[in-house]
Amino acid sequence: MAVSELLSGKLLYEFRTIGAMVEIYCRAHHPLKPSKGVCVSCQEFLTYAETRLDRCPYGQGKPTCNKCPVHCYKPHMKQKAREIMLYSGPRMLLPHPIMAIKHLLAERQPAPGKPPEGVSNRHLRKLS
């Protein structure tokens, strides 16, 4: 399971869900990875996703990144996220049923408005 020392609450749960999806994706696409964990490039993506979650201006109330009007990911990371979700989303139900259902429910929530300019969740930490 993906471990984070930066995140808590909903952000940590989302990071673990992303971690589970990355593991499924990496196992199928990068078979030469070390026996434990994910390959270097997938780990790089996970570290990037962790930082984005930590800095998400919506904080604990964040929408699913898929519907976010900010789209804070760099284009190539956004593309990798899309590939991982497309491949692993349908394959999550058996190994991680609760995560899969929560993810599907989050995807059905309406897109939020844009947050105020320059806001980071760091200012919300004390509230969460």
C-alpha to C-alpha distance for 22 and 38, rounded to whole angstroms:
8
Which amino acid, residue 80? K
Return the residue of 63, 89, 106, 124 that touches ligand SF4, per CB under 6 A: 63
Q: In the bound complex, what is the minimum distance in angstroms from residue 45's beta carbon to ligand SF4?
A: 13
- SS3 string, 17-43, reads HHHHHHHHHHHHHCCCCCCCCCCHHHH
Please count the other Cβ atoms lying within 10 Å of the Cβ belonging to residue 42.
21
Site string for ligand SF4, 72-111 (x = CB under 6 A): xx--------------------------------------
The minimum distance between CB 124 and ligand SF4, in angstroms, equals 12
Footprint on this chain of ligand SF4 (rule: CB under 6 A): 52-53, 56-58, 62-63, 65, 68, 70-73
